[in-house]
Structures are given as structure tokens and as C-alpha cells.
């Protein structure tokens, strides 16, 4: 298998879709001549032309609204919202239109729309550009939410997204674009709603998604050096949610730590902890622990930003507190 970056994995999946289906087109801010804010679509404009690689004005509601209309008309648009923070400007188009049209039309209308966006902090972009809002969209029936943590999953989940008849929020993380990993040369996809055990273990289960998977794997390695074997479960999609994989893991390890980058209050981790308590209560040797971002607006100052985002030592400390 070839070893490629997270960025290249997404780029390959997009290019394959453009080549395979003439109905596929990309639309977003700076995706054409500039090559994309994160260089994912670099060179696409020259290869596929302006009809299929559309630079747009800075107007997220228009971008997503146009994508919804195109999808309803039988086209396969991939809309890029530069960061998930800007999705707030298109929340009505996403939640009240894209997510609900199939249901409200009695199944007559499909909206095969992919919305690519970038989540998370760590780039010193301050409070309004460093939020992790993917759990908001996971709360909405009618949307599917993918949160890939590796190049393999990024390509496989994006391939699966192109097979979906209704909208997918495909969430990437800016600090993962340079991450390298093995990706098969042949055709494969990663089904939605199937979590993955990224590292087996017997003493504690760490459940997480997106960039925190990589942080959790680092923490698990540190714990292993101290004699604690942590199992790391990557959710891969928040909706549909595979809760059986983490629950079965907890039944084996008897302890659980839920990790996410977003704010603790109202975070998706509370949902996971509740599901584990309901489905694996008799197996727990300790309360479900949670590690999350601090309940503050993201600071611009680098030292304060690092304090606001969960890190490897935070996870290690949470595990040690349980055992």
C-alpha cells in the first residue's frame, strides 16, 4: 500500500469522483485559482475547468443553497465551506433545507450533497475560527456526519459519501492534513456507522474521533510504557453512530474515557457516556471519564490555546485516575 497524506487521500477521492461522474462538481471559496485554502483542490481548475470547479463569492448561505438546489436537480455537488465556523452563516440551508427536504417531500426529493469543511483549533486562529461544531450537526436527523482521523478513513469515507442519496457533512481537521498513512491502491470504501478499533487493549477504552484519535494513540503508547494497555476506539462517523463497538470494548476493559476537542458542556462526549452507562453499566468498574476542550472561547495566544485543547497528558491523567 502507498503511504500518502490525509490531504492527498481526500484529493484522490475527489478527483476519482470528478473523473467517474460528469454530474460531480465542486463549489466554494478559493477552491479554483487559489487551489483551496488547504491545497486540497490544487490543480483541479486547470484539469476540469470552470464548469466543474467553481470559485464562489464569500456567501456561505448562497453556496450551500445553490448546492442544495443543484442536488435536488440531479447533480452531485461537493460544497466546500472553508471552516466549520462559517457554516453558521448557512445553518438554515443545512438544517432546514438539506436535512429535511427528503422527509418533507415524502421521499420524492433527494439531496445528494456533500459539504466538506474543516474543524478544530491549534492554528492560532482565535475564537471565531477555531471551533469544533461537528457535534451540532450530528444532532440533526437527515444529516450524516463523517469525522475521519486517518488518510485511510478520509479516502474511504469520502468515497462512501458519494454513494449517499442525501446530505453528508464531511468534517476534516486542519492539523491532520500532513498526517501520513497507508492507503490501498485498489478500490475500497469505509461504510458509515462502523467504528474502528485503532489500538487493541485490555485495561481501559478510550473513545474518540477526528484529530483526538491521534492524540489518544500517543497517550496509549505512553500508558503502555507504564504497563497500562488502552484500547482506542475511533467512531469515524457521529451520525450514524456505531455505539456497539465502544460498548463491547468497555465490556472487555471495564473502564471508559471519552475524548473530544469541543467544549465539555453540551459536547458529543456526553451522548457517548450516557450510552455506555445505559448499555454497559454492570461492566463498569469506575464512572465514565470525559476529556474535552475547556469551556472558553479559543484564545489567540499560543500558550493559552494549547491549554484550551485536550492533549496527550490530559488523557493519560484521566486514565490513571480511573485505575
In degrees and rounded to multiples of 5, residue 146 shows phi and psi of: -105, 140
Calpha distance 127→130 (Å, rounded): 6
Annotation says 135 is catalytic: no
Calpha distance 183→3 (Å, rounded): 6
Residues, the chain, total? 323
In degrees and rounded to multiples of 5, residue 100 shows phi and psi of: -110, -15
Calpha distance 145→134 (Å, rounded): 7
- The residue from 29, 80, 102, 129 that is catalytic is 129
Calpha distance 159→152 (Å, rounded): 11
Residues 6 or more apart from 298 whose CB is under 8 A from it? 121, 125, 126, 127, 130, 131, 305, 308
Long-range pairs, 42-48, Cβ under 8 A, ≥24: 42/11, 44/14, 44/15, 44/18, 47/15, 48/18
Q: Is the CB of residue 206 less than 8 Å from the CB of residue 319?
A: yes
Residues 6 or more apart from 258 whose CB is under 8 A from it? 207, 208, 269, 272, 273, 276, 288, 289, 290, 291
Burial of 296 (0-12, 13-18, 19+ CB in 10 A): exposed
Annotation says 60 is catalytic: yes
Calpha distance 217→219 (Å, rounded): 5
- The residue from 8, 29, 60, 231 that is catalytic is 60
Q: Is the CB of residue 82 less than 8 Å from the CB of residue 30?
A: yes
Known catalytic residues are 60, 129
Amino acid at each position: 500500500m502507498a503511504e500518502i497524506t490525509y490531504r492527498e487521500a481526500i484529493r484522490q477521492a475527489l478527483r476519482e469522483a470528478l473523473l467517474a461522474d460528469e454530474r460531480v462538481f465542486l463549489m466554494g471559496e478559493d477552491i479554483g485559482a487559489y487551489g483551496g485554502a488547504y491545497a486540497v483542490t490544487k490543480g483541479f481548475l486547470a484539469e476540469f475547468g470552470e464548469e466543474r470547479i467553481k470559485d464562489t463569492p464569500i456567501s456561505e448561505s448562497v453556496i450551500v443553497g445553490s448546492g442544495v438546489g443543484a442536488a435536488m436537480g440531479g447533480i452531485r455537488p461537493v460544497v466546500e465551506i472553508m471552516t466549520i465556523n462559517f457554516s453558521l452563516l448557512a445553518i438554515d440551508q443545512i438544517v432546514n433545507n438539506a436535512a429535511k427536504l427528503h422527509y418533507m417531500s415524502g421521499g420524492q426529493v433527494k439531496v445528494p450533497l456533500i459539504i466538506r469543511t474543516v474543524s478544530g483549533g491549534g492554528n492560532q486562529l482565535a475564537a471565531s475560527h477555531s471551533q469544533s461544531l461537528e457535534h451540532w450537526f450530528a444532532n440533526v436527523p437527515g444529516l450524516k456526519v463523517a469525522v475521519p482521523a486517518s488518510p485511510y478513513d478520509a479516502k474511504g469515507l469520502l468515497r462512501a459519501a458519494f454513494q449517499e442519496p442525501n446530505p453528508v457533512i464531511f468534517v476534516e481537521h486542519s492539523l491532520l492534513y500532513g498526517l501520513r498513512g497507508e492507503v490501498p491502491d485498489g478500490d475500497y470504501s469505509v461504510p458509515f456507522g462502523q467504528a474502528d478499533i485503532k489500538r487493541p487493549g485490555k485495561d481501559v477504552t478510550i473513545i474518540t474521533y477526528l484529530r483526538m484519535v491521534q492524540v489518544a494513540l500517543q497517550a496509549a503508547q505512553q500508558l503502555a510504557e507504564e504497563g497500562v494497555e488502552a484500547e482506542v476506539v475511533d467512531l469515524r462517523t457521529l451520525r450514524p453512530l456505531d455505539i456497539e463497538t465502544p460498548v463491547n470494548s468497555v465490556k472487555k476493559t471495564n473502564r471508559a474515557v471519552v475524548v473530544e476537542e469541543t467544549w465539555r458542556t453540551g459536547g458529543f462526549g456526553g451522548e457517548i457516556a450516557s450510552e455506555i452507562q445505559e448499555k454497559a453499566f454492570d461492566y463498569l468498574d469506575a464512572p465514565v471519564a470525559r476529556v474535552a476542550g475547556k469551556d472558553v472561547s479559543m484564545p489567540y495566544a499560543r500558550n493559552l490555546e494549547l491549554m484550551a485543547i485536550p492533549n496527550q497528558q490530559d488523557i493519560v491523567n484521566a486514565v490513571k485516575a480511573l485505575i
